[in-house]
Amino acid sequence: MNSGDPAIPTPAMPKPAMQDQATAQTFAIPDNVYAETVTFVRHYTDHLFRFRITRPASLRFRSGEFVMIGLPNAVRPVFRAYSIASPAWDDELEFFSIKVPGGPLTEHLQRIKVGDTILMKKKPTGTLVLDALVPGERVYMLSTGTGVAPFASLVRDPETYDKFEQVILTHTCRQAAELAYGQEIVEAAAQDPLVSDFTAGRLKSWTSVTREPWPRTKRVTRAIEDGTLFAELGLPPFDPATDRVMICGSKDMIADCKALCLAAGLTEGSNARPAEFVVERAFVD
C-alpha cells in the first residue's frame, strides 16, 4: 500500500541519522532542518559555482527569498544564508555560491558532488520579494557578484511579469568569467517554454566588468549617475511613478545604489510596508 495514501495514517518515521566525518559521531537531523541530496554541480571560476538539490515536498518559498544551508560534516554544522536561485515553480532548488578560501562553510561546500547531502533550515525569508514592492511599469534588479542569485529566481518567475511590464537585470563583476551564470539564466529565461512567453521582449540584461577589458567597464552606480544605463537601455531615468528597484550586492554597493534611489525620489520598502525599492546584502563583510 502506498504510504502517501491520505486515507491511511502515516506512522511516525525515525529521524534520519548523519555521520560526522571528523569524529565518526552520529547525530539526528533537528526538526527545523531538511536533509536534501545534491543533483547537479557546475564550477564557473576558481571562486564561483552553482549547485542544485532535491526540493522537500513541504517547502514553500517566494522567489527572491533566502534559506540557511549547511553540511552534515560536524555535530554542530555551520549554516550560512543562501538566496534560492531557482524560481518558486521549479521542482529542485538551485544555489549560486562563492568559494571563500578558508571559509567555514564554502571551503567544504565547494567540494560537494552529486549524491552528497546538504542541510537546509526550513524557514525561507528575505526582502527581495515582489510583495515588498508596490506595482509599477518596470523593475530594475541591480546586482554585483553573487548578488545575482535572488534575481536568477525572480527573472524566471512568471509572477514577476504579471506585476511588471519590463524587467531589467544588471550584473557587474570584477571579471568577465564571473558573468557566466547570470548570462546562462537570461538565456534560459528566453528559451525555457515555461517562461519564454513572458520574457520575450520584456527581460533586458545589462552587464559590466570592472577589473579587465570588456565592452562596458563601469560600475552600475556610475552608469546610473551619468545616464548611460538608461541611454543604453532606451529607457527614461528612475521615476517613482513607474520604476521599482531591487538591489543585491556588497554593503557599499547597496549603500551607493540606495542613495541613488532616494535621490530619484523612491522610497524603501519591506514585507510589512511595500514601497518602491528593496535591498538585501549578498554577503556580510
Ligand X SMILES: Cc1cc2nc3c(=O)[nH]c(=O)nc-3n(C[C@H](O)[C@H](O)[C@H](O)COP(=O)(O)OP(=O)(O)OC[C@H]3O[C@@H](n4cnc5c(N)ncnc54)[C@H](O)[C@@H]3O)c2cc1C
In the complex, the smallest distance separating the C-beta of residue 282 from ligand X, rounded to whole angstroms, is 5
Question: In the complex with ligand X, which residue's Cβ is closer, 148 or 235?
Answer: 148
If residue 231 lies in a helix (H) or strand (E), which one and from where to where?
helix 228-233
Residue, CB closest to ligand X: 103
Question: In the complex with ligand NAP, which residue's Cβ is closer, 249 or 269?
Answer: 249
In the complex, the smallest distance separating the C-beta of residue 146 from ligand NAP, rounded to whole angstroms, is 6
- 140-166 burial, b if ≥16 CB within 10 A, otherwise e? bbbbbbbbbbbbbbbbbbbbbbebbeb
In the complex, the smallest distance separating the C-beta of residue 12 from ligand X, rounded to whole angstroms, is 33
Beta strands in the chain (DSSP E): 17-19, 26-28, 33-45, 48-54, 66-70, 80-83, 92-98, 117-121, 138-144, 166-173, 203-209, 243-249, 277-281
Question: In the complex with ligand X, which residue's Cβ is closer, 29 or 81?
Answer: 81
Using an 8 Å Cβ cutoff, are 117 and 224 in contact? no
By a kind-dependent CB cut-off of 5 to 8 A, residue 103 interacts, out of ligand X, ligand NAP, none, with ligand X
Residue 268 per-residue DSSP state = B
Hey, what's the cell of 175?
571579471
By a kind-dependent CB cut-off of 5 to 8 A, residue 280 interacts, out of ligand NAP, ligand X, none, with ligand X
Residue 37 per-residue DSSP state = E
By a kind-dependent CB cut-off of 5 to 8 A, residue 127 interacts, out of ligand X, ligand NAP, none, with none
Q: Give me the residues that bind ligand X (CB under 6 A), please.
A: 66, 78, 80-83, 95-98, 100, 103-107, 145-146, 149, 280-285
By a kind-dependent CB cut-off of 5 to 8 A, residue 211 interacts, out of ligand NAP, ligand X, none, with ligand NAP
